[in-house]
Structure 1
Amino acid sequence: MRGRWAPGRAWRTIAAAPFAIYLVGPVHQVLSEPYPTWLGAVVVLDAVLYAACWLTMLVLGPAAGHRARLVGSGTLLVLGLLLGVLLGPRFLLYLTFTVSVALMVLPRLISIPMTVGSVLVLLVSTAIVDGRPDVESALVLGAVAAATFGISALIWTNADLRAARDEIAELAVAQERARLSRDLHDVMGHSLTTIKLKAGLARRMLEDGVDPQRPVAELRAIEELAGNSLAEVRATVSGYRKPSLAAELVNAGAALRAAGIEAELPRSIDEVDPVVREAFAYVLREGVTNVIRHSGASRCRVALTRSSIEVADNGNGRPTGPGAGNGLLGLTERMAAVRGSLDVESVPGQGFRLRAAR
């Protein structure tokens, strides 16, 4: 049984409260007929406690906890049965208050047998005392139970739908955060690495007193790269960024040359499956960035087929297990989105290989 109460319980309790007026029936019966005074007092007290307990259980609902719900429902059952004992079996009709709460707050394995048992007790006791079963009252009790069962099922279904909607919203937020983190890592990691290399190259040129036009050209390239990176960041935040594999090949060649690394790049992407081009663009960007940052390599080779891309270097190799970086984790997620896989191979002193395939 759920340990929470569906939203809106306050107004439902207020809407149900007027039905407690029906408990005036036993009080009117005992006060208008020549019953003993003590019996009248007991019936009045029983009716008041019955109404109070019923309203309390409506307010608390499943939020009261399993034990409290059992005790509350048991108390209602005793108070309802007591009316039948004191005034006669036809007053067992007032067990409707008990079953209405039981079907809302108790597990079905308890509430349904309690409801069926209440109907049977009403039929059997009226048959014994009055000579015939009170079928009309039993039908009323059964109808109230069926209506309550349907209403409670609808309430819980709506509550589950609201909970599912909230969970979906939370998952969407988490997914968007992961996307932003992954995309910003890919964008800023490569761009800042290239800017750093070009800035260092321009600085060395100025220090060595070479032709001023050469460092100026590098500074212009830095300016252009910074502008492109800013545009990419804006597109990433807005969710409209779509990397181009062809553009990434051009950028990879420029970045590798700025780092003094010999680049072996494919001349065309025509044979690459369009479905995987975007994912391969990310793989290429991350792979080349890692070569420049970590490998200490003098040569980098990029190979493309219709369904695979491979970035390999002749550097020092680097860790491939847990903690190797967020970039590889992001690439794994991107390849999984196109039903592909990511493989890494690193041999200390012999280089690092990154391969993605679908």
Structure 2
Amino acid sequence: MGEQGVWGRSAWPVWNPARPGSRSARVRGVVVLSLFLLWPLWEILRPEAGGLDAAVGAVLPLYGAGWLIAMTAGPRLPPRRRILLVGMLFALAFVAALLRGGPLYLGHAGLFSFALAAAAWLFPALWAVLLGLGIGTAQALVQWATPGPIHWNLMGGLFPAVVIPVAVVLLIRFVVQLGQAREEIAALAAAAERDRLARDLHDVLGHSLTTITVKTALARRVLESGGDPERALAELRDVERLSREAHGEVRLTVSGRRRPSLAAELAGARAALRAAGISPILPPSADHVPAELAEPFAYVLREGVTNVIRHSGATRCEVLLGDDWLEVRDNGTGQDTGEDTGQEMAGHYAAKPGNGLSGLAERLRAVGGRVEAGPLPAGGFRLRASRA
């Protein structure tokens, strides 16, 4: 619907395109709509009305075809063409009414009701209501101003002839709109879930695979240099443990039950940095961080340390932690450390923010925070997350 809702002046109904269906289904829809035309046609052709003449016989096919077009193809037309189409229906209904019964017949012609139904289907709801009131008032004035006695039976038919088509069609519109809203909500929820899953898997697997790669490379170098086999075995046992933990984290991520711990991420960051030959300078604890910031800060720490290992070429990484802020600093030059896994951060990591930085920004916005990333004046890189 329009910007101002179903009652707004700009609320031209825009229905979703019909889903592809069989030709027989479309034919059935046209047949059902055609059956509704039997009532106004009977009002015109019934024996009491004098039967059919050539003039009315020329008007009725045009009216029926116009009404079917309005109800089937009308919602896909621009507003100006909708107005012309509905105006044509009212003009044909007016001509048919005059041909059959003169001015008095205007208040009893079912053709006006169906033209109002088309207006309620194609126009903004407020326009349809005002148009119905105007048509009803005009018909009553014609009945009142016509010389001779007032035909109360015709006057009594004005109210249902105006109210029923507008009310019923608007009710149908509301039902259709609710159905479309449910479909849109479902589509948005599915898209949001896909984004969440992609973001969380990126955060989980990026860090885990980076640490596994670093520890595996360290074990290989130890064995190739003839070093202590026990150290190599210890690194491989860590790789096995990390693989099992990553598997469990992926399962929790898919189910939406994963809740990272800032303290655990600090411990994991220390081990990963040491395995990569980077000196870690980390805070002793994270107990002072508010609970609502602990989870997004855990993601920031994981992403920042992962990119330091993968892309910075640093020898030192420092993590600073306040009550409502966290910084990850390194002394690197921005040179990749070997694994071509794609650059994620801004500044010397990439020309534009990637999935990692975008995902962190989304997490921080949810708690009223923001993420900043850029090079340090003295060299290196800084990733900062804070509550705005």
Q: TM-score, normalised by structure 1?
A: 0.85
Tell me which amino acid in the other structure corresponds to 2:86: S
Write the distance in 2 (CA, Å) between the matches of 1:320 and 1:134: 85
Contact 1:5 1:62 in 2 (8 A): no
The change in CA–CA distance for 1:97 and 1:311 in structure 2 (over 3 A counts) is closer
Contact 1:125 1:133 in 2 (8 A): no
Residue 73 (1) aligns with residue 86 (2): yes
Residue 209 (1) aligns with residue 226 (2): yes
More deviation, 126-135/229-238:
126-135
Deviation at 1:222, TM superposition (A): 1.0
Residue 4 (1) aligns with residue 4 (2): no
The change in CA–CA distance for 1:146 and 1:295 in structure 2 (over 3 A counts) is same
Write the distance in 1 (CA, Å) between the matches of 2:233 and 2:358: 38
Residue 302 (1) aligns with residue 316 (2): no
Deviation at 1:282, TM superposition (A): 0.8
1:280-322 deviation digits (Å, cap 9, x = unpaired): 1111111111111122221111122222211111222552775
Task: Map 1:43-122; keep pairs closer than 5 Å.
Answer: 43-47=56-60, 50-51=63-64, 53-55=66-68, 57-63=70-76, 66=79, 69-86=82-99, 87-92=101-106, 93-94=108-109, 95-107=112-124, 115-116=132-133, 118-122=135-139
Write the distance in 1 (CA, Å) between the matches of 2:235 and 2:116: 83
Q: Which residue of structure 1 lines up, in the alignment, with residue 344 of structure 2?
A: none
What residue ranges of structure 2 are gaps of 5+ in the alignment?
Answer: 1-11, 19-24, 335-346
More deviation, 341-350/226-235:
341-350
Q: Which residue of structure 1 lines up, in the alignment, with residue 8 of structure 2?
A: none
The change in CA–CA distance for 1:142 and 1:289 in structure 2 (over 3 A counts) is same
Contact 2:114 2:165 in 1 (8 A): no
Residue 29 (1) aligns with residue 48 (2): yes
Task: Map 1:312-327; keep pairs closer than 5 Å.
Answer: 312-316=329-333, 318-319=347-348, 322-327=351-356
The change in CA–CA distance for 1:338 and 1:29 in structure 2 (over 3 A counts) is same
The change in CA–CA distance for 1:74 and 1:357 in structure 2 (over 3 A counts) is closer
Write the distance in 2 (CA, Å) between the matches of 1:345 and 1:67: 53
Deviation at 1:349, TM superposition (A): 6.2
Residue 343 (1) aligns with residue 361 (2): no
1:44-79 deviation digits (Å, cap 9, x = unpaired): 554565455445544444345556544543343233
Contact 1:123 1:133 in 2 (8 A): no
Write the distance in 2 (CA, Å) between the matches of 1:243 and 1:261: 23
More deviation, 142-151/256-265:
142-151
Residue 163 (1) aligns with residue 177 (2): no
Write the distance in 1 (CA, Å) between the matches of 2:60 and 2:89: 11
Contact 1:119 1:138 in 2 (8 A): no
Q: Which residue of structure 2 lines up, in the alignment, with residue 20 of structure 1?
A: 38
Q: Cα RMSD (Å) of the superposition?
A: 3.1
Contact 1:316 1:349 in 2 (8 A): no
SS across alignment from 1:161: helix
The change in CA–CA distance for 1:117 and 1:324 in structure 2 (over 3 A counts) is closer
The change in CA–CA distance for 1:265 and 1:136 in structure 2 (over 3 A counts) is same
Contact 1:310 1:355 in 2 (8 A): yes
More deviation, 348-357/195-204:
348-357
Contact 1:96 1:144 in 2 (8 A): yes
Write the distance in 2 (CA, Å) between the matches of 1:347 and 1:332: 20
Q: Detail structure 1 runs of 4+ shifted over 6 Å in the superposition.
A: 5-13
Task: Map 1:182-221; keep pairs closer than 5 Å.
Answer: 182-221=199-238
Among the aligned pairs, what percent are the same residue?
43
Q: Which residue of structure 2 lines up, in the alignment, with residue 223 of structure 1?
A: 240
Contact 1:13 1:55 in 2 (8 A): no
The change in CA–CA distance for 1:59 and 1:133 in structure 2 (over 3 A counts) is farther
Write the distance in 2 (CA, Å) between the matches of 1:22 and 1:259: 84
Task: Map 1:255-294; keep pairs closer than 5 Å.
Answer: 255-294=272-311
Task: Map 1:121-200; keep pairs closer than 5 Å.
Answer: 121-127=138-144, 129-134=146-151, 136-200=153-217
Tell me which amino acid in the other structure corresponds to 1:182: R
Tell me which amino acid in the other structure corresponds to 2:183: D
Write the distance in 2 (CA, Å) between the matches of 1:147 and 1:43: 25
Tell me which amino acid in the other structure corresponds to 1:341: R
Residue 42 (1) aligns with residue 60 (2): no
